[in-house]
Amino acid sequence: MSQNSTDAITEKVMRALAAEMPVRPATIAGANAAKLVRILRPAGLAPQKVPRIQQISRELLRRHDGDLAYLFELPTARAREELMDLPGIGPKTADVWLSLVAGRPTMPVDTHIARLAHRWRLVRTSRYEGVTAKLRDLIPPGRRARGHLVLIQFGRDVCQARRPRCERCPVYNLCDAKVKRKRFADTKFSMG
């Protein structure tokens, strides 16, 4: 639901969905697709998301009678595999669920966090597994869920993709933006 959507919009859409029907696999699987698209439209990509959400709901019903409680009993790695075995669930979504719902010490990485890791020269890889492994090394298990949320917010508010607010950044000296901006300023100056 949250893919390509802000947290505020996702929360609003989830409230609207809950007002229309119980948010359970059986209800979602059997819901009218056009109605779901209408409800989920503000979150973006609703025509693409609805079939996937319904497919996941049907699969959860088929495999586990719609109950995810068994995942709480599994070791983290096994629970992650089970989640990723569902259609459309990748490593990030599995890690987010495990962290924020199940309280496991995963370290989900979204585009904001990956950008920070690169700008702060923590990683050279763009692969999800490489970035999350490095951050798991740096952030203690009990702080990863909060770290995930704080880093996302920092990436949205300060270290934005196109217009980073470097003047507000408390870790500017660790960042590659300083080098890039100097090169850009030198190039611009020499051209003028």
Catalytic residues: 92, 110
With H, G, I as helix, E, B as strand and everything else as coil, classify residue 147.
Answer: helix
Here the contacts of 130-139 (C-beta below 8 Å, separation 24 or greater) are 132/91, 132/95, 132/106, 132/107, 132/108, 135/107, 135/109, 136/105, 136/106, 136/107, 139/107
Do 117 and 134 meet the contact criterion of CB atoms below 8 Å apart? yes
